């Protein structure tokens, strides 16, 4: 699939991973819609940098737990760029609640994490699908190795990421043959907001738990996003980028 001149929506665009993904897409000539929750000044500054260096870019604020906000977002992006070809569901929410500390797991936290990490991507995928079907498209969900084994910042986070992996498969079936849907499951990443919410001891253990004895690379993930968007016959797949941690 040709990338140059296409348009991508990237949620979590203010985050450490989201920014790297946006930069790589910009270098490939993809116009980008940067979706943020709160940091308007930061998002607009980054958007201006991308526009100056690479392509057309604009920042959009959106509550990804609101179906109305999501539908309005897609309409605004289409009005601004004329098309929507790609979507990266990267936005996520997490808090540190050790698995054994079950008493600290509240219903409010459970619902907030699931709403942001799983329901939001479902709603946004649904909203963009009708626009993408006109010209074809591709969607990438950013999950986590926490979705492959009982690990991570909390039980609801792990459950939400496991659900996102299966949502990828279900949407790949539902949206075929016009739209491809794939998933990337990163391992421990340094320099992201999600990582900042992890316990320090847990971070150190995660850093050395892989056979490569180092954190996963945000740029490796961004490269795979570009590669999957360029693909024509890959769908329903989850690619693990974790320095060889989960399989071993």
Residues with catalytic roles: 157
Between CA 67 and CA 152 the distance in angstroms is: 28
* Strands in 37-103 per DSSP E: 57-61, 86-89
How far is it, in rounded angstroms, from Cα 237 to Cα 185? 10
Residues 6+ apart with CB under 8 A from 110: 156
How far apart, in Å, do the first and last CA atoms of the chain sit? 34
Between CA 198 and CA 161 the distance in angstroms is 16
Structure tokens at 13: 């665009």
For 170, the token pair is 């279900």
């Amino acid at each position: 699939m040709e990338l140059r001149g296409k348009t991508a929506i990237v949620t979590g665009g203010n985050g450490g991973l989201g920014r790297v993904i946006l930069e790589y897409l910009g270098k490939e000539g993809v116009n980008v819609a940067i979706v943020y929750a709160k940091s308007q000044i930061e998002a607009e500054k980054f958007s201006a940098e991308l526009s100056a260096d690479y392509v057309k870019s604009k920042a959009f604020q959106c509550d990804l737990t609101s179906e109305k906000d999501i539908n309005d977002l897609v309409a605004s992006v289409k009005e601004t760029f004329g098309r929507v070809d790609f979507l990266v569901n990267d936005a996520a929410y997490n808090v540190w609640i050790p698995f054994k500390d079950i008493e600290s797991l509240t219903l409010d936290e459970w619902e907030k994490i699931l709403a942001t990490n799983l329901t939001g991507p479902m709603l946004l995928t649904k909203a963009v699908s009708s626009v993408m079907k006109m010209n074809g498209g591709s969607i990438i969900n950013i999950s986590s190795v926490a979705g492959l084994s009982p690990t991570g910042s909390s039980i609801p986070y792990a459950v939400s990421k496991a659900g996102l992996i299966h949502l990828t498969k279900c949407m790949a079936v539902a949206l075929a043959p016009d739209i491809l849907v794939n998933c990337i499951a990163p391992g421990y990443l340094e320099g992201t907001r999600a990582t900042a919410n992890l316990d320090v001891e847990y971070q150190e253990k995660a850093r050395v738990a892989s056979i490569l004895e180092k954190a996963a690379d945000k740029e490796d993930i961004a490269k795979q996003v570009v590669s999957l968007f360029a693909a024509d016959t890959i769908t329903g797949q989850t690619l693990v980028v974790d320095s060889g941690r989960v399989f071993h």
